[in-house]
Amino acid sequence: MHELSIAMSIIELAQEESVQRGVQVSAVHLKLGALSGVVREALLGSFEMACEDTPLKGARLVIEELPVLIFCRTCDAQRPISSVQLFCCAECGTPSGEIVQGKELEVVALEIEEWDRSPV
């Protein structure tokens, strides 16, 4: 299971942004492709655990799962596949390995709260 190290990378990335922008992160929005090799449930659990001793403690991980899309030469268009066990155009059945979506493992947005900047 490598979701823990992925979760730690996500936290590190969010931390960097949070410090740079002087904001508190309350949620991290992630795009997760079906071919990313990362399991959603395992990642959610790991994220919660890995947040514990960091300034992100309590932050939510919001995952948007992206299905695989291939380029179908027969349809001359982007199409979904029949299943991850069958890389064929779901419309016409032509086999295709030209993936146009599904590898994503990307932090797309942060939900933030401005830090209280009042003098100490």
String of contacts with Zn ion for each residue 17-36, x by CB under 5 A: --------------------
CA-wise closest residue to 98 among 117, 111, 79 = 79
Rounded CA gap, 15 and 100, in Å?
30
Contact flag: residue 106 with other proteins (CB under 8 A): yes
Q: How far is the CB of 96 from Zn ion (least distance, A)?
A: 8
Site for Zn ion contains 92 (CB under 5 A): yes
The one among 8, 13, 75, 99 contacting Zn ion by CB under 5 A = 75
Question: Rule CB under 8 A: is residue 66 a binding residue for other proteins?
Answer: no
Residue 48 is a binding residue for other proteins (CB under 8 A): no
How far is residue 120's CA from residue 100's CA, in Å, rounded to a whole number?
51
> Does 91 interact with Zn ion (rule: CB under 5 A)?
yes
Where along the sequence are the contacts to Zn ion (CB under 5 A)?
72, 74-75, 89, 91-92, 94
